[in-house]
Amino acid sequence: MTQNTPPEFSPVAGMLWMFASSLCFVMVTALVKYVGSDLPAMQTAFIRFAAGLVLMAPLFLKLRMREITPRLWQLSILRAVIHVGAVGLWFYSITRIPLTDVTALNYLNPIAVTLGAALFLGERLALRRGLAIVVALLGALVILRPGFREISIGHLTMLGAAVSFGCSYVVAKRLSEKLPATLVVMLMTVMVTVGLAPFAYAVWVPVNLTQLFWLSAVAVFATLGHYTMTRAFAVAPVAVTQPVTFLQLIWATLMGVLIFGEALDPVTLLGGGVIISAVSFITWREAMLKRARTRTDIQSGL
């Protein structure tokens, strides 16, 4: 360990935490696909977020007294509206296209975040990042293969979900500059649950205990996935942990083939690999720029 390396820095630990995170998020997708075939998408989404709200209930006592400005309330509501749409599209897509396609197209989220930050937050979009975005979009075309196979409504809604999630994360980025991450997550969970409620009520069908159990498990795995991802970011740079997320596509493919009887599609894997390579490059580039800025700040302070 060098003198400049913080004692908690551990690339191996970061990769292991991200490995666990990828497993958790694939379990979320697989369980939603398993249960979602019997329940409407909006009802499934509502039950998942309501269960997550129960898990986060102990945090209410710590967060309820915190002062939030009207502007932050507006941003939180905006994010919730976008997230409700994203969640509805995502849950709908899972029951209509293979797990591999869902996971591969979901890698477009960081691309949408990068574009959104440039368009709405005024962040500079350098040439290399722009080229990486073009490469990622080409990867999406490889997955969809327009003209070579039928593009279903599930693929289109999944693209909409990826873009919507990206917009939601852009707003979350602005909120996280002013509020603790825990409060941002809590506000999102409460507001999305409330936002999904009328849509779920409109299509509600009876839920049995088995379905309720598995949807509660979805909330547990989603919470664990976010926790392990946060731990990964805490002990290793994103440039180290980001490539590990590619394993999520492998797990999704295996589950799709072995559990749901889906056909193995090497072309989708190729397209997903192209997207994650572009995302990893953007992540690595951001890490290098941040390191250069830190070195410049240190030198200017001498």
Domain assignment present for residue 177? The answer is: yes
- Asked if residue 254 belongs to a domain, the reply is yes
**Alpha carbon distance 95, 39 (integer Å):** 10
What whole-number percentage of the chain has pLDDT above 70? Answer: 85
**Quick one: tokens of 23?**
């497993």
Instruction: Flag whether 2 is in a domain.
Output: no
Domain annotation covers residue 5: no
Give the span between the Cα atoms of 260 and 43, in whole angstroms.
22
Report the pLDDT value the prediction gives residue 59, as an integer from 0 to 100: 72
Arithmetic mean of pLDDT over the chain: 81
Confidence category of residue 7, pLDDT binned at 50, 70, 90: very low
Q: Which one-letter DSSP state was computed for residue 88?
A: H
Expressed as residue numbers, the domain containing 120 is 11-300
Q: List the beta bridge partners of residue 149.
A: 146
The answer to whether position 230 is within a domain reads yes
293 band by pLDDT with thresholds 50, 70 and 90: low
Q: Give the CA distances from residue 268 to residues 15, 141, 265, in Å, rounded to whole numbers and listed in that order.
A: 24, 10, 6
Q: Is residue 3 part of a domain?
A: no
Domain count, the chain: 1
202 pLDDT above the threshold of 80: yes
Q: Does 288 fall in a domain? A: yes
Tell me the C-alpha distance between 165 and 294, whole Å: 30
In this predicted model, what pLDDT tens digit does every residue of 73-130 receive, in sequence order?
899 999 999 999 999 999 999 888 888 888 888 888 778 777 777 776 666 767 777 7
With 0-12 / 13-18 / 19 or more C-beta atoms within 10 angstroms meaning exposed / middle / buried, residue 1 is exposed
Q: Which two tokens stand for residue 160?
A: 């909409």
CB 176 within 8 A of CB 184: yes
Q: Is residue 89 part of a domain?
A: yes
Percent of the chain's residues with pLDDT above 90: 16
pTM greater than the 0.85 cutoff:
no
